[in-house]
Structure 1
Amino acid sequence: MSIVAGIDAGTQSLKVVIYDAAQRQLLASVSAPLELHSADDGSREQDPAAWVAAMGDCFGRIDPQLRLQVRALAVSGQQHGFVALDAAGQVLAPAKLWCDTSSSAECGQIMDAVGGAQRCIELAGNPILAGYTASKLPWTAKHRPDAYAKLAHILLPHDYLNFVLTGQYYCEHGDASGTGWLDVRTRQWSPQLLKATDPNRDLGQCLPPLVDADALFDIAPAMAARLGLAGTVKVGAGGGDNMMAAIGTGCVAPGKLAMSLGTSGTLFASSDVPVVDPAGAWAAFCSSSGGWLPLICTMNCTVATEQVARMFGFSSREGDAHIAATPPGADGLLMLPFLNGERTPDLPLGKGVLAGLDAHTMNASHFYRAAMEGATYALKYGFDAFVRAGMQFDRIVLTGGGCNSAAWRQMIADVFELPVEVPQQSEGAAFGAALQALWALQRSTGSEVSLAAVAAAHVTPAAAASATPDPARAAAYAAAYQRYLQHLHAVMPLYRG
């Protein structure tokens, strides 16, 4: 029973890993690209059928004998998405994603309906921010009324893949808390926020039941056959990608800080109690391990560096050479990389800003460094809120595609003035899903092992990928970060509508 699989449906690709817990060995890791459909109104959408096809493609490229040995699996999925299904379980419209800002106006409408952002935090622990699932419902009612009229099931992306795998509707608390409807203190759907989203129907009837993090379900026979898996495979609760990355980086115990450098950037820490900020400076989410996960999210991370690399005709895999060719602070060139709007700071209508450009900095290397620094400073802006609240950390554990860059790892260490670690299993979300499946499988046989103990046993740092702060560079970045804050505060009024 030691072989488990993890599936991570991200924005740019879907990944599958297979892990042998007895041997502490990753046996397979494959991925398939996903297409993102964008529109000028801020829409960012994907076809849920593409996730299913990518999942089939990934499993199809794994050795058939290995697939038959998988005992359990779990799904990690991009948070905040909205998959609309009719009563027969058929998809009604493209899925609106976490980075979709077309419904930013609906965020304010929902909060106004309950008495404002502060009242929203009092009711559920979080304001309704750009990209959250809740705002996508009134947008759909307005722009896709036929689909909304037929709406019978509201699912998140990972819930939808669970439905495809098992034929059952269910949701766990971690991903549910990213909808904007979950009261994170009571871990139940908030009737007030559901009514504020649509006072004319009971949206609660469309939401799946909430299950515990160690829940297990039988795989549907047809899907087992399609994926080449045994009919006895169990499917776990899974969770949002940040919640699964917390497991995959070992950040399921208080005191550790994880940072994900993906299309979006996130900072998250484990807590045994709800951690709600009265001003909404961070997301007060539940975890997918039975606790809570205070989280900072920026909407522009590797998307910024990749866009610059594409613009200048090189691969981001070559980016470290451009960082090495330029000094910390990029000789005064500064980028606010708000290409998808921004959540931290809360500027859903924000746009990218380039400042300090001169003849010396008008080149690929300076632009690339400015993009990487800007994405890092946005995370530092969120980190400062954690620190002001009294949270303390002794290191940062990195995951996501950006952590493959040695230059970025060192930049994180220098900007945050903390040592940096990278787990040996770099696909933190997919690996976290596999570990959650392993834990649930063990619990189903009577074991009382904790998920923290499972993570501690299987998540080990890659020594060669560690980084420690350099005082000279840290001082240079500190000055550049102050310039970032000055420019940020200057442009905020321009993008607040």
Structure 2
Amino acid sequence: MARYLGIDASTQSLTGLIVDSDRQEIVAEASIQYDDYFANSYGVKNGVVDQGDGVVNCNPLMWVEALDLLLNTLRSEGHDLSSVAAVSGSGQQHATVYLNEDALPALAGLTPDKPLSSQLSGIFSHQSSPVWMDSSTTQQCREIETAIGGTEALLKLTGNPAFERFSGPQIRKFFQQEPKAYERTTHIALVSSFIASLLAGSVVPLDPGDASGTNLMDIHRRAWSERALAATAPGLDERLAPIVPSGKPVGVVHPYFISRYGFADGCIVAPFSGDNPCSLIGMGMVEPGQVALSLGTSDTLFACLNEPRPSSSGEGCIFASPDDLHYLALTCFMNGSLAREAIRSQYGLNWASFEDYLAQTNPGNEGKIMLPYFEPEIVPKAPAGIIRRGLGDTEIAANVRAVVEAQAMSSRLHSKWMGVDISSLYITGGASANDEIAQVFANVHGCPVIHGETANAAAFGAALKAYKAHRQELGWSSIVESFLPGNPRQIDPDTATRTIYDDLINKFSELETRSNIG
């Protein structure tokens, strides 16, 4: 019996998911919600600390503590980790972790009689990790683009323009504002490679999928770009681990985890990747033209492509796929669950009543629309602010529908750059379990919405990555087909709503334009 563990270090939680390759099914899932455990000790809300002025970060030691909690939870729930042949994982993209010279000996010398956090508290040269919600690096973005030769030059080199949340601009800001701390930094990891390093007891390489989200990787060679590194910070090439193929093992589980949690000696650690690239795998997106939507803290629309096709409009990103063959086109909308939860909280609703209110209103919402930017929006780029048209803030049901329809229409409007025909939409993420929300997306896109195997697509994709690293002779198509259901649950569009949304989306687009957004 071979089992494989996928770990997802997302914005708000650390999730573990185990698959059984013989039974071809998920056999375990557990999650540590950061707010439940660390709101007081680390000051997090929704998994992060919002410092104001666009600065959003958290203490990386929180992720260290969460790993012990997660593995202890899996073990205490009766899951035998000695049957796990390989582990891989995913992490919220772009978040950086800064390690000092004490990191390597501390990781190698872990002892099972003490928790990770007490042994690793001194390994950081910077006690905060900027996360993807951080938008404080506009100056650094412009500086990097100028040094490379302009936005178009960086786009062609890395697949993306400089984005504030990307790792490169964040590293440059750290170097500029805290040069002494940067000098003490011997290794810079992404949250994905950091968790993998904990498990392996050494600083491990990155995979191309997550390295794509740094503005530092040559998207065509899947290797660090010397030009991009030089434009970002001095000595950066010495501080970054190499990029290796996503399916190549980078180590084995450290004895700490063998003694403390019962992992088998020789359990493989495969490269971790980003949550979006892993979700691509977890949704079975290993053939070009397939499109999926993740309804998480942010809403993310992504498609599998044969070749990198950068967005000249700045509406999306290009990443390497963890299948080591294809590419991922992605559009990230900051105000996903953030906005849905804000509306729910504003009116004192639970998720059941939120769904009820959504069901009470008609498609098109009688023309009532909203731009629900509770946080600064990524696509279209916009400052925080709520704009309503024909909609009062006391209309509970209409506001519930307005926020969901806005998100669905935005995903349709800002996906054209991908160049794919969305004939079906695979859906995952926490909100995907809400059928009324899924129905809105089906109606707006005019295509069936197909539910994935699990709402934890990133952790599921990570587990499949571990399977692939252990069984490298297997093809990706055979792996995903063996686990994905033959008759997945599907929600079909109401064809009568097509003209309603064709008209409403024009009105919505005009509101974006008139509001100087987009």
State yes or no: 1:68 paired with 2:101.
no
What amino acid is the match of 2:269? V
Equivalent residue for 1:342, pick from 342, 361, 377: 377
Report the CA distance between 1:278 and its aligned residue: 4.3
State yes or no: 1:355 paired with 2:388.
yes
- 2:397 is matched with 365
1:391-449 per-residue CA deviation (whole Å, 9 max, x = no partner) reads: 22421111111111101111111111111101222211101100110111111xxxx22
- 1:376 is matched with 408
- 1:475 is matched with 499
What are the ranges of 5 or more consecutive residues in structure 1 without an aligned counterpart?
A: none
- 1:209 is matched with 242
State yes or no: 1:407 paired with 2:436.
yes
CA contact (8 A) 1:421 1:461 kept: no
With 370-379 and 68-77 compared, the bigger mean Cα shift is at 370-379
Report the CA distance between 1:480 and its aligned residue: 2.1
State yes or no: 1:88 paired with 2:102.
yes
CA contact (8 A) 1:287 1:293 kept: yes
* Cα distance in 2, alignment partners of residues 455 and 220 from structure 1: 29
- 2:268 is matched with 234
State yes or no: 1:460 paired with 2:485.
yes
Report the CA distance between 1:317 and its aligned residue: 4.4
- 2:20 is matched with 20
* CA pair 105-227 structure 1, distance change in 2 beyond 3 A: farther
CA contact (8 A) 1:174 1:243 kept: yes
CA contact (8 A) 1:335 1:352 kept: no
- 1:418 is matched with 447
What amino acid is the match of 2:73? R
* Cα distance in 1, alignment partners of residues 336 and 273 from structure 2: 22
* CA pair 302-461 structure 1, distance change in 2 beyond 3 A: farther
Please report the TM-score for the alignment, with normalisation by the length of structure 2. Answer: 0.88
- 2:50 is matched with 38
Equivalent residue for 1:269, pick from 273, 282, 303: 303
- 2:135 is matched with 101
Report the CA distance between 1:279 and its aligned residue: 4.5
- 2:190 is matched with 156
- 2:42 is matched with none
Please report the TM-score for the alignment, with normalisation by the length of structure 1. Answer: 0.92
- 2:364 is matched with 329
* Cα distance in 1, alignment partners of residues 444 and 139 from structure 2: 34
* Cα distance in 2, alignment partners of residues 478 and 303 from structure 1: 26
Report the CA distance between 1:477 and its aligned residue: 2.3
1:317-357 per-residue CA deviation (whole Å, 9 max, x = no partner) reads: 4321110122223333322222332222234xx21322125
Report the CA distance between 1:26 and its aligned residue: 1.8
- 1:491 is matched with 515
Report the CA distance between 1:221 and its aligned residue: 0.9
* Cα distance in 1, alignment partners of residues 390 and 80 from structure 2: 54
* Cα distance in 1, alignment partners of residues 218 and 181 from structure 2: 27
* Cα distance in 2, alignment partners of residues 330 and 14 from structure 1: 37
Report the CA distance between 1:256 and its aligned residue: 0.9
Report the CA distance between 1:133 and its aligned residue: 0.8
What amino acid is the match of 1:67? L
* Cα distance in 1, alignment partners of residues 8 and 399 from structure 2: 31
What amino acid is the match of 1:14? L
Percentage identity across aligned positions?
28
What is the Cα-based RMSD across aligned positions, in Å?
1.9
CA contact (8 A) 1:244 1:433 kept: yes
* CA pair 65-343 structure 1, distance change in 2 beyond 3 A: closer
CA contact (8 A) 2:391 2:398 kept: no
Q: Aligned to 2:31, what secondary structure does the other structure show?
A: strand
* Cα distance in 1, alignment partners of residues 426 and 159 from structure 2: 26
